[in-house]
Structure formats: structure tokens, C-alpha cells
Structure 1
Amino acid sequence: MNTVDRWFEDYEVGEERSFVGRTLTETDVVLHAGQTGDFFPHHMDAEWAATQPFGRRIAHGTLVLSIAVGMTAGDINPQAMSYGYDRIRFINPVFIGDTLHVTAAITGKRDHAKEPGRLGYVHELVTVTTAAGGTVLVLTHLYLVNKRVD
């Protein structure tokens, strides 16, 4: 990873990033279940899942979210920090063996209400797709970003 200084003024609405795909594995699902304690049969019981509408196990939504956010983490920017995530939607199921593709597009910028001369928010729409499921997850990642102070 590289360190880059990217200030509020450097972000442009409409700019987009895309990332190399990542295939979700059995190991990913098992580790996530162990880390979170979510051993729900939709994720862990192949025989039971075969009797359900999707016909097989599905990945945890929070696992897909974690992988997607991790895929967008590239350069270290000391001028910005994650402020949180809004409008998280799990649109379609993700199955073991699906390859996740992620794009991230800057959709908005706004001043910080209490410190508009020093800080701003950058909104980035993160979209996750698979070949079989189309769009499987969307969310807005909010960044709190320093402004250049003259």
C-alpha cells in the first residue's frame, strides 16, 4: 500500500474505481461464521439449504459487505477516514464459488455542518456484482475528509 494525501477538494463527483474480482470460498464462509457466531443453517447446513428456495448455502451478507469494503481499501490516505456506511442493501444471494466484482463511484460531497472550512464528507457508492446474480449488494461509504486550509 502507498500513502497518498487526497484532500476533500481532490475528489470529483462521477469518478469511479473498479477492482479485480475475488472468489468467495468455503473457507471464507466458515471463518466468518466462527468470527461472528452466525451459524445459521442458510450458511452452514448444505442438506437443509438444499430444501430451501435457493437450493444451496448462501454467504453471509456481512461477509460479502466485509470483502467488498476490503477490496476498496487501497492507498492509505491520512487526510480521510471512514465515517460509516449508509443504505446497505443485500439485493441477491451470493453462493460459495461466486466471484465478487466491486466498483466504487463518488456520488456526492458536502461540507461538515460544524466545521465547513476544515472538513467535508465524500459519498462513495459501492456496488458488488457476480456473473450469476447481477447486483448482489450496494452501499454508500461515507468518508470524513480534511480540506486544505489556507
Structure 2
Amino acid sequence: MAVKIYYEDFIVDDRRVTTGRTITEADIVLHAGQTGDFYPHHMDAEWCKAQPFKKRIAHGTLIFSVGVGLTAGVINEAAMTYGYERLRFPAPVFINDTITATVTIKSKRDHKRPGYGIVSELVEVYNQQQQLVMVCEHLLLVQKKEQHGADPA
């Protein structure tokens, strides 16, 4: 679904929660093959038994990709990703964990490019026990209404 949500339409502290997605062994194996990251933390169950978590963990980059993907339910033709900041993985994700994402509009500011602003979204990813497993700031470059002939109504 395509919409146009302009800079002025974003409201600080608005929040939305996504549906869930279970991380499978197939996800981990496919991600390892795509990225070349075959570290034993992700691939070697026996090696992991002697490690602090005692079992295989999902790649942080996999959780980032899936977590951000969960937030992409609507195509906003007036915005594009400008970048991500402050990416952290405070807890591991294991095979068969189900993750959901919460997106909160944290701030808005003008951008040096006329007619645009930056909207900062806090993206928090949680496992099925509501434990925070990933957090980052998603920056959106968003068109302003008055610069693009949008109906202000």
C-alpha cells in the first residue's frame, strides 16, 4: 500500500507495534550463506555448549534486517531512509524466538535540503518474553507539504 505521509504529519511519541516473526534455523543458515558469516556462535551447536549462552544465536545483522523489515508495512512515497544510528543488541536471539518491533517517533528537525526534514524513529525489537534484543534509531528524510504542493488539509 502506497501513501504520502509528510514531515508535518509525523507526531512525536506516536507509537506502533508490528506483528511477530519467528527466527528459524533456516533463517540463520541462509543469512550465513548470504553474508559469509559462518562464525561458530551461529553455526556450531557443540561449540556453543561451552559458551555463555549454551546454544546458537542469530546473527545481529539478521535480527536487524528482520526487525527493520517488520516495520515496513506501508510504502511512504514522501519519505526515504536516511540512515540508522545507535544500533545495539542488548540480548541474544535464539532459534525459535519470536520477535516483534515497536516504532516510536522520537524527534523531528529541519534538513539542510530545502523542503525536507528528518524524522527520527526509535526502533525496539523484543523477543517473546518482552526482552529487548535490538534497538536503533531510524532516520527518515521526509518531504514537507508546503514545498511539494501537497494539500495542507
TM-score bucket of the superposed structures, by smaller chain:
over 0.9
Matched-pair contact (CA < 8 Å) for 2:83–2:138: yes
Q: Is the 8 A contact 1:91 1:135 kept in 2?
A: yes
Deviation at 1:114, TM superposition (A): 4.1
Superposition deviation, residue 51 in structure 1: 1.0
Deviating beyond 6 angstroms after TM superposition, the runs of 4 or more aligned structure 1 residues are none
Q: Work out whether 1:139 is the aligned partner of 2:136.
A: yes
Cα displacement (A) at 1:131: 2.9
- Does residue 96 of structure 2 align to residue 107 of structure 1? no
Query: Does the 8 A contact of 2:118 with 2:140 survive in 1?
Result: yes
2:118 is matched with: 121
In 2: Cα distance, 1:47 partner to 1:31 partner: 20
Alignment-mate amino acid for residue 44 of structure 2: D
How many angstroms apart in 1 are the aligned matches of 2:130 and 2:102?
16
- CA displacement, residues 6-26 of structure 1 (integer Å, 9 cap, x when unaligned): 100000001011011111000
Q: What is the root-mean-square deviation in Å for CA atoms of aligned residues? A: 1.1
Conserved 8 A contact 1:49-1:57: yes
* Percentage identity across paired residues of the two chains: 54
1:4 alignment partner AA: V
Gapped runs of 5+ residues in structure 2?
none
Contact conserved, 1:24 with 1:95, CA < 8 A, in 2? yes
Residue pair 1:71, 1:102 contacting (<8 A) in 2 also: yes
The two structures have a TM-score, normalised by structure 1, of: 0.95
* Corresponding residue SS for 1:6: coil
- The TM-score, its normalising length taken from structure 2, stands at 0.93
Q: Count residues with an aligned counterpart.
A: 147
Asked if structure 2 preserves the Cα contact closer than 8 Å seen for 1:92 and 1:133, the reply is no
Point out where structure 1 has 5 or more consecutive residues left out of the alignment.
none
Question: Aligned in 2, Cα 1:114/1:107: closer, same or farther, shift over 3 Å?
Answer: same
Partner residue of 1:20? Answer: 19
Letter in 1 for 2:17: S
Cα displacement (A) at 1:113 = 2.5
Contact kept? 1:101, 1:130, Cα under 8 Å: yes
Deviation at 1:132, TM superposition (A): 4.1
Q: Does 1:98 align with 2:97?
A: yes
SS in 1 for 2:76: coil
Amino acid at match of 2:144: K
